[in-house]
Amino acid sequence: MSRRLSRLERHRRKQSNRQAVLYIFLSIVFVAGLIKWGIPALISIASVWSGDEEMTQEAQTTLKPQAPVLDPLPEATYSASIKVSGYSLGDMRVRLQLNGMDLDEKRTDNDGRFEFSNVSLSNDENRIELKTVDDQDNESDTTVATVVLDTSKPVVEITSPDEEHQFYGLDQKNLEIQGKVDEPEDRVTVNDNFAQVDSEGNFVYRTVMSEGANDYVIKVVDNAGNVTERLFRVFYTP
């Protein structure tokens, strides 16, 4: 009797071991399939195993595609036309809206890349919205970016010294140019050397004059790329 029971026990253990191996194998297949084919394909496989074709079709027609990822755009630009590009899923449609209006639609290439050339900006602040759309017309979440159109040149004022001021003697050979720009984010250079701008838009540039006329090109560039240049001249006599 005990011998018969031990055989039964061995048989059950063999069955349990086979089931364990089968479960491990299926788990490996599931993880590998998730990595290679993604969730939609696994839903299809699961539905085939369960015999539920309707579930497959419903899942495939309701899953959102990946939202577009934009290449970096400028926060502000002086150009009235820009390029909007990025990537999403391969062979999908990408819809572009500008300031709430449908503007254009492109299909991504096999690598998922898309590009809208010569997008014309019309407002001071332009809202760019993009969606990925699949062949079942499922729409992704919206990717949003804002670009400011700024065509105004920066303003620069030299507060000290006066233009064409005459300096004399060794004790006046060192020059300090003080000025102000209208935006603290503006970049200021004097003869191609950077001058630090404080939070109020004030800047200072120090140099040593040579005898005669001393010319300084003051260049200001704002965040949109607009440029203002002015020539500043003073005189020095040892």
Both structure tokens of 218: 């003051």
Residue 149's CB is within 10 A of a number of other CB atoms, namely 18
Average confidence score pLDDT of the chain: 85
Distance CA 116, CA 128 (A): 12
Distance CA 57, CA 49 (A): 14
Looking at residue 122, its pLDDT comes to: 86
Strands 193-195, 202-208: pairing is unpaired
- Under the banding of pLDDT at 50, 70 and 90, the label for residue 4 is very low
| Residue 99 backbone class (left: φ over 0; alpha: ψ -120 to 50; beta: rest) | left
DSSP state of 171: G
Which of the two residues, 100 and 60, has the higher pLDDT score? 100
What does each C-alpha distance from 42 to 111, 138, 212 come to in angstroms? 22, 19, 82
Dihedral (Cα; 36, 41, 46, 49), 10-degree rounding: -100
What is the full DSSP assignment across 39-67? HHHHHHHHHHHHT-HHHHHHHHHHPPPPP
Segment 161-181, tens digit of pLDDT: 999 999 999 999 999 999 999
Segment 180-205, tens digit of pLDDT: 999 999 999 999 999 999 999 999 99
- Under the banding of pLDDT at 50, 70 and 90, the label for residue 43 is very low
Residues 6+ apart with CB under 8 A from 53: 47
114 neighbors 106 (Cβ within 8 angstroms): yes
In what side-by-side order are the strands of the sheet with 101-107? 76-77, 143-149, 125-133, 93-98, 101-107
Strands (DSSP E) contained in 7-155 are 69-70, 76-77, 81-87, 93-98, 101-107, 113-120, 125-133, 143-149
Looking at residue 141, its pLDDT comes to: 97
> What's the predicted TM-score (pTM) here?
0.67
- Under the banding of pLDDT at 50, 70 and 90, the label for residue 18 is low
167 neighbors 234 (Cβ within 8 angstroms): yes
210 neighbors 140 (Cβ within 8 angstroms): no
Which of the two residues, 130 and 11, has the higher pLDDT score? 130
**Least confident span in 35-39, 94-98, 206-210, 216-220:** 35-39
Segment 67-120, tens digit of pLDDT: 999 999 999 999 999 999 999 999 999 999 999 999 999 999 999 999 999 999
